[in-house]
Amino acid sequence: MIQAGIIGGAGYTAGELIRLLLNHPEVNLNFIYSTSNAGNKISDIHQDLVGDSALKFSNVVNPNVDVLFLCLGHGNSKAFLEAHQFSSQTKIIDLSNDFRLEKDQNFKGKSFIYGLPELQKSVIKNADYIANPGCFATAIQLALLPLAAAQKLNDEIHINAVTGATGAGTALSETTHFTWRDNNFSSYKVFSHQHLDEIQQTVNQLNNNFFPEISFIPNRGNFSRGIFASLYTKYQGSAESAIKLFKDFYKDAVFTIVSDEEIHLKQVVNTNKCLLHVQKHKDKILITSIIDNLLKGASGQAIQNMNLMFGFEESTGLKLKANYF
């Protein structure tokens, strides 16, 4: 069994990561580092884990673990790695945005690889350091990859996506407070969301000379978890050709499924799946994409990347049932 460590254990993504690692047949969770919770039982913070483990948070790291997960706030992962030394054999998976862009990926003589398995699975298998994609970026990129790979993106892309309250993290603010969020709906960071940069990077990687604008409107929904993204752009071809393009592209994907029926969030919440639905309206193609922002959009994808890096079957520890009822 490989030994795993987690840095930053109190947030939503860390809680899901702990849950997944405790139930992974090939992993022993060696330590969970949290200076603010050192000595406390993990179930004191993540109450869904009551009875699952006697593990406590620690303020000491084991530098020789096989894999290290960074669940720190954006901008803090690089500083932590600069202040702490780990074995040259330790593989690192960062869940922040510190290393997702090409300009930030070189670190201490190694390169972070962008960890979207449907984009570059073979590269991930040989990687030592992984930059786990953002949640919005995952849902949106999975809706665009087949078109980009076929050089079919030639016009402006319009995106409207809504995320649940857990996408904002555990820290309370005016827009995460229950009385504000309940029975409410709002947009934020319109046309300027930080995930746009990694989306643009991937599109340019696959679709040479893509210059049109990607217009993205993120929204806050009054539910806890999940992302529902709707994307449309001009497409030359029939609906049948578009659906075939998507199904051919994802024919070997373990977690990304092209549905013949319209999709809804209850199909993916608590799973590592991405469901896609493709329609043609006059000269436009409409793609809807849904994920669980904490799993396929964060911790589940991190485990998927770990499985690839260590040669485990890709879905190990991730065969989860949706909370449909």
Least Cα distance to 95 among 301, 269, 308 occurs for 301
Rounded CA-CA distance 131/221 in Å is 27
Rounded CA-CA distance 71/11 in Å is 8
Rounded CA-CA distance 137/106 in Å is 21
**Residues 280, 235 contacting (CB under 8 angstroms):** yes
Active-site residue, from 65, 135, 147, 258:
135
CA distances from 139 to 95, 229, 239, 291, 298 (A): 16, 7, 21, 6, 11
Rounded CA-CA distance 47/53 in Å is 11
Can 274 be counted among the known catalytic residues?
A: no
Strand 157-163 and strand 110-114: the pairing is: unpaired
Burial 273-310 (b: 16+ CB within 10 A, else e): bbbbbbebeeeebbbbbbbbbbbbbbbbbbbbbbbbbe
> Could you list the active site residues?
135
